[in-house]
Amino acid sequence: MKFNPFEEITKPWSQVTLHNVHLLAVCPTEDLRTMITVEYQGAKCDLISAGHWDAQWSPRDVGRFGYLVPADPIDSVSQWACRFRTYLDPSLRRLFELDAKDQWGWLCDDRPQGFLAPAGLLPGVKGRYVADETIPLTLRIPPEFVRLCRGVDRTPAEVLRGFVADAGNINNYCNWPRADGYDSNGSDERYMAEEWLKRAYGIDAVDVEQLEIAEEARAARADARDEFGVLLEEFLDYSGSVQKLHDAVNALIEQQRLKQEATTGEQ
C-alpha cells in the first residue's frame, strides 16, 4: 500500500511530522474551524486545522513553508485535522540527505551549504541555535524533596531544571532556540532564584569574570611555553648554542624590563 503522508499525520496518536510543507491557502469553515490547503512533495491536500482561532493569523502565512504536526486527540474534531507551523526563517528547509546520527540536516539563505542541528530541534532565524554544552551530573534525591515536588505535580528533574534555568538567567527564545531545552519560568522566578543563591552562598561569592580572565591568562601562558619549547627543540636540532640562546633571551628580558620601568615612571 502506497504511503499517504496526509492520511498518516491525521491518524489518532500519530507521531508523524511533515517538514518543508508549503501553505497554499487558508479559509474559515462554517463551524468556525479553518481549512488549509498545503503542498508536500508535490502532493496537495485540504486539511482541517485543529485550532479554533487559526483563521485570525494563518492568512498572513500563505505562501510560506513550515511543518505539519498531528493534532492532539482532544483538539481533533475532524478526520483531517492537524496543525501547521511556519518556520521562523522563511528560507529554512529540511535537508534530509544531510541527516546524521541524532542530527538533522537543514539549509537556509544564510547557510546555503547546509548545516546540522540536534534531531527534533527547530533552528531559529538564520538557522541559529544554542549548542548543548551541558555537563552530566548524578545526584541522589532524598524522599523529602521528592514529596515536595509531588506537591506541585512535578518530577524532581523538572523542578531542578527549572531552578537551574531561573538561577542561571536562561531564556530559550524561538528565534535562537537552545538545544539543551533549558528555559526560565519568568522574570520574578529569576530574581527570587538569584536572591536565594546570594542568601545561601553569598558569603563565598567570587568575581567569576575576573576568575575567568585569570584562567584564560594562565592558559595563554601555558600555550606560550609549549610553543617556545617547540622552537627550542628545533633550535637544538640545528645544532644551536644553548648559551647563545640563553644570552639572547636574557638580553630581550632586560630590554623589556627597562621599557616597562620607563613606561611606569612616566605614569
Tens digit of each residue's pLDDT (9 = 90 or more) over 55-71 = 556 678 899 999 998 87
pLDDT in tens, 71-124: 776 554 555 578 889 999 999 999 999 999 999 999 999 999 999 999 999 999
Residue 42 lies in a domain: yes
250 shares its domain with 177: no
User: What pLDDT is stored for residue 79 in this prediction?
Assistant: 55
Do 250 and 236 fall within a single domain? yes
Q: What is the predicted pLDDT for the residue at 4? A: 85
57 assigned to some structural domain: yes
Here the cell at position 220 is: 595563554
In this structure, the answer to whether residues 147 and 183 fall within a common structural domain is: yes
Q: Which of 161, 181, 204 is the last residue of a domain?
A: 204
Let me know whether 20 and 68 are in one domain. yes
Q: What is the pLDDT of residue 58?
A: 67
Q: Are residues 222 and 179 in the same domain?
A: no
Highest mean pLDDT among 1-15, 103-117, 199-213 belongs to 103-117
Higher local confidence (pLDDT), 75 or 266: 266
**What integer pLDDT is reported at residue 259 of this predicted model?**
84
Handedness of CA 90, 128, 5, 11 (dihedral sign): negative
Average pLDDT over residues 223-230: 87
Whether 194 and 242 map to the same domain: the answer is no
Flag whether 132 is in a domain: no
Q: Do 82 and 103 reside in the same domain of the chain?
A: no
- pLDDT band for 261, please (50, 70, 90 cuts): confident
pTM: 0.73
For the segment 168-185, the average pLDDT, to the nearest whole number, is 95
pLDDT at 68: 92
Residue written as grid cell 623589556: 256
Structurally, the chain folds into a number of domains equal to 4
Q: Confirm whether 134 is domain-assigned.
A: no
* 9 within a domain of the structure (yes/no): yes
Residue 137 lies in a domain: no
Residue at 174 is within a domain: yes
pLDDT at 19 over 60: yes
Same domain, 175 and 225: no
| pLDDT higher than 60, residue 53 | no
For residue 34, what is the domain's CATH number? 2.40.50
The residue out of 183, 204, 225 marking a domain boundary is 204
Tell me if 36 is assigned to some domain.
yes
**70: containing domain:** 5-86
Sorted by sequence, the CB contacts under 8 Å of residue 15 that are 6+ apart come out as 70
3-class secondary structure per residue, 202-259 = HHHCCCHHHHHHHHHHHHHHHHHHHHHHHHHHHHHHCCCCHHHHHHHHHHHHHHHHHH
pLDDT band of residue 262 (cuts 50, 70, 90) is confident
What confidence score (pLDDT) does residue 1 get?
56
Confidence (pLDDT) at 92 = 97
Residues 64, 106 within the same domain = no
The residue ranking higher by pLDDT, 94 or 210, is: 94
- Residues 98-110: tens digit of each pLDDT: 999 999 999 999 9
pLDDT surpassing 80 at residue 251:
yes
User: Which DSSP helix (H) or strand (E) runs through 105?
Assistant: strand 103-108
Per-residue pLDDT, averaged over 45-59, amounts to: 69
Which residues, including other chains, have CB under 8 Å from residue 238's CB and lie 6 or more apart? Answer: none
Residue that wins the pLDDT comparison between 179 and 244: 179
The mean pLDDT of the chain is 88
**76 and 9 fall within a common domain:** yes
Answer whether residue 54 shows pLDDT above 60: no
Distance between CA 217 and CA 187 in Å, rounded? Answer: 35
